[in-house]
Amino acid sequence: MFKKIEQGIFSTCSKPASATAQWWNTFVRIKDDKENIIPFVQCIKCLSIFAYESCKTGSSTRKAHAESCLGGSSPTSRKEEQYVSNIDSHAIKDITDLFSVFKIGSEKLSADNVPTLHSVLPWFYKFRKSCEIKATDRPCIAQLRKKLLKKLDANLWLTDIHYIATFLHPETKSLPKRNKRAKRDDISVDDVLKEFISNENLSIDDEEPYDEVIEYMKRKVNYSSGEDVLSWWKKHSCIYSQLSRLALALLSIPASSATSERIFSETGRILEARRQLLSAESLDSLVFLRNFR
């Protein structure tokens, strides 16, 4: 049929006057050599030909093709070119630069194979810093920063565990300062000891943990950038026998639920429709092998 149209044997004509569907703006009808309308239509862009009889054929195929081929039901109805030309490229760059900080931070905090709890506080400070309004900001960017900061303060609450975990990382041990919503500014020995009592069968009168916390606070520790913090504490357990136990316990806590959510999603892919007879033990073993190798 396409060759007949090319050769001029068949011709095309406009849509019927009664046709009101938007997808008709993308198609023309086809006439045979006797000028009779035949039950086919042709796309005006890609020249594809589709069978069509108004009383027998549905319109879903033509409608879907119009949306995919021309980006909408009509070449001009959605005014895509106008929308694109009106976009401020500088504003787009400012927005992507702003959100890139949150993207990188969320990826770091949702990592699977490294400790992340100690990073919550540093990234919280970075997020807040990126939300500070600058004198050179456009009004839309300043408004976006303000809204992001409001959302950040409303949805991210820091607890003593976050501050203590940051303190227990050699690279960030001097960082923990409570935010304005806290009653005190600095992490104290008592804060760490309180966490000791909740994790270990220790008495508040036990002097050993107290001495270790003081020693760790005052001592300038050697920590190589990129070194595994859990390995560092294991290596220094002879110096901080009690404090290392708390560090290993706290720093093993993930900063987010991203890892467990990924495991749940993966479990759904394992237990698909064709594997519904898997026993609970087999499913547990498969999940374990995939995630804890």
Measured in residues, the chain has a length of 293
Give pLDDT, residue 6.
Answer: 65
Q: Measure the CA–CA gap between 233 and 245, rounded to whole angstroms.
A: 8
Judge whether 202 and 196 are in contact, CB under 8 Å.
Answer: yes
Give pLDDT, residue 134.
Answer: 92
What is the percent of the chain with per-residue pLDDT over 90, rounded to a whole number? Answer: 23
What are the tens digits of pLDDT across the range 261-278? 888 888 887 887 778 888
CB atoms within 10 A of CB 255: 19
In sequence order, the β-bridge partners of residue 43 are: 27
Q: Measure the CA–CA gap between 93 and 89, rounded to whole angstroms.
A: 6
pTM for this entry:
0.60
Long-range contacts of 218-223 (CB under 8 A, 24+ apart): 221/170, 221/173, 223/170, 223/171
What are the tens digits of pLDDT across the range 32-77? 778 788 778 877 777 777 777 766 555 677 777 777 766 544 444 4
- Buried-state track 229-244, b at ≥16 Cβ within 10 A, e below 16: beebbeebeeebebbb
What are the tens digits of pLDDT across the range 169-226? 988 887 655 554 444 445 555 666 565 555 555 444 456 667 888 888 888 888 888 8
Give pLDDT, residue 89.
Answer: 81
What are the tens digits of pLDDT across the range 116-131? 999 999 999 999 999 9
Task: Reply yes or no on whether the pLDDT at 91 is more than 70.
Answer: yes
Q: Measure the CA–CA gap between 292 and 83, rounded to whole angstroms.
A: 48
Helix or strand run (H / E) with residue 31 = strand 27-31
Residue with tokens 């490294």, as numbered in its chain: 114
Task: Reply yes or no on whether the pLDDT at 253 is more than 50.
Answer: yes
Give pLDDT, residue 150.
Answer: 93
What are the tens digits of pLDDT across the range 210-233? 788 888 888 888 888 888 999 999
- 216 Cβ contact partners less than 8 Å away, ≥ 6 residues apart: 173, 240, 243
Judge whether 173 and 118 are in contact, CB under 8 Å.
Answer: no
Q: Measure the CA–CA gap between 134 and 55, rounded to whole angstroms.
A: 63
